[in-house]
Amino acid sequence: MKRVVVVLMLALGFAGISGCQKAKNSTRVSTGSNVRSGGIAPGSTTTPSGIQLTKEANVTTTDSQESFQLGVGDLLEGQVARDYVGAVSRSASDGTGVFIGGKVELENGQRIGVSNGVVSVAANSELLIAVYDSYYTQQGLDPIPPIYLKKASGMVNGNSADITFSDAYGTIRLFGQFNNQTFEGTFSYDTLRTFDGKKGWNGTLGRFKIPTCSIFRCQ
């Protein structure tokens, strides 16, 4: 279900934008479940396969903060309720934001280069997404469980890549271009259903940027 959004200050209780604040050091209560984390603990910045999150790899937008916050809620609603999520910066600043890391392998173990031609992405490629919000960074509540996807499809063509990561709850698509320093482009999501069984949302959250050799095997 695609949203057509005319963003007003919706009374959805977005912490840090509108609505009530939660008590400092209280326990964050989720009405959803930790269904997409693949066993990665909330707040973890690494995975067993070697993915490591850094502040330089993130998703940002020039759209309004309200629009970005709504998209973050859409992205996360596959596992948690919207009132579980505090304010998340559209510019990945003030300690909050959407941060990503990945491990993308190419067919036959090829290394990435700007003259690869058309090469398929290996199905066991991985993506880790961590959302740090104001409840975690400013009020000391538990972090939101990450999204850890360990199935992928797509291709690399020259210096362009189109990769879709998936699990039973939906997909994340990274579509963009890379050079020997940075892979960047559009970050899109399609959540098949919400944590409570309703139809999910799809859309483009913003633009991702990640160091090329932190996600691809470089030459």
Tell me the backbone φ, ψ of residue 209, rounded to 5 degrees: -145, 125
Sequence spans of domains, the chain: 58-215
Question: Quick one: the chain helix, strand, coil %, rounded to 5?
Answer: 10, 35, 55
Residue 59 pLDDT exceeds 50: yes
169-207 confidence digits (pLDDT tens): 899 999 999 998 999 999 999 999 888 888 999 999 999
- Could you say which DSSP state residue 55 is in? T
Residue 20 pLDDT exceeds 50: no
d(CA 137, CA 197): 30
Asked whether the beta carbons of 102 and 215 are under 8 A apart, the reply is: yes
